A = this chain, B = another copy of it.
Amino acid sequence: MRENAKDPQRHAQRMARKQRVMRERMARAQKDQGVLLVLTGPGKGKSSSGFGMIARALGHDMKVGIVQFIKGKFRTGEERFFRQLPGVDYHVMGEGYTWDTQDRERDVRAAEAAWEVASRMLGDESYDLILLDELNIALRYEYLDLDRVLDDLEGRPERQHVVVTGRYVPQALIDLADTVTEMGVVKHAFKDQGVKAQKGVEL
């Protein structure tokens, strides 16, 4: 997929997308519309912020969808909490990526299966807010085709909100997004201070 980035036809398609997005944005600027938010950067709080937005949406009786692209020991508290609630469609894909075994084909299959679920939500206007947790990581490792992801995000129902989290967001996704927050580390207990990760805050 790296080759795609340098392919002139792909480049032209992306520039056309950018122009189209800018025009649509101008046209819709004063209308009610769904927003695409990206939470990225090395600092703590990206996924938490996405889950906080889920809570807020539920407070407005919205229907939400959650797809987690990395399953690990993290996020277990959120999963336990949100899974039990009405109005929540919660998916955790695969058994986590194979950082250890480096079985890339398995990772790609898991990411593609996750995107199938996300793609279905993005085509269903009954979802008011969709959280794609750690999607950026799957893009970073090129487990997913970036253009397919951008197409599905761009083609979603007009009033649907999407929150994407994870480090290393691709520039094309920044271009498509309405709001992008970069979370920086000022100080980190586990890096700087040797404090153990704590259940309920970190896990």
Residues on A facing B (Cβ under 8 Å): 25, 28-35, 37-41, 43-60, 62, 75-82, 128-129, 161, 163, 174, 177-190, 193-196, 198-203
Contact = CB atoms under 8 A, between A and B. Distances in A.
Contact of A182 (B30, B47, B163, B184): B184
Nearest to A44: B181
Interface centre among A82, A177, A180, A185, by most chain B C-beta atoms within 10 angstroms, is A180
Contacts of A161: 198, 200-201
Interface centre among A54, A174, A185, by most chain B C-beta atoms within 10 angstroms, is A54
Given A45-B46, A55-B81, A178-B193, 12 more contacts: A33-B195, A34-B198, A45-B49, A48-B50, A52-B53, A53-B200, A55-B77, A59-B79, A60-B77, A180-B187, A183-B183, A184-B184
Nearest to A80: B59
A178 B45 CA distance: 14
